[in-house]
Amino acid sequence: MPTARHFRHIALSLDGTTEAPHFERVAFKVARIYATLAPDGLTANLKLSRDEQEPKSVAVISASRGKALPGSSPRHPRRRPPGAADVA
């Protein structure tokens, strides 16, 4: 996984990309937002079309040398924001 610095460098290297605040995150956009980066630099969101969401076009590589990524293991369940309700 790239560091926040590398992520920012890659995003800003794309033609026409600008960086701007978006709620508590940083957004990268051309005409529309296509990526956001968390303030702590540990997570990023990419907005992909349905075709780009196909498993063949997305690869997740762990830089943790075989360790499960946070939130991907039963030992590390995803944390909900305070006040989030269970959905039945």
Number of other residues whose CB lies within 10 A of the CB of residue 46: 13
Distance CA 59, CA 12 (A): 21
pLDDT in tens, 1-24: 679 999 999 999 999 999 999 999
In this prediction, residue 50 carries a pLDDT of 84
pTM, full prediction: 0.58
In this prediction, residue 34 carries a pLDDT of 94
Mean pLDDT for all residues in the chain: 77
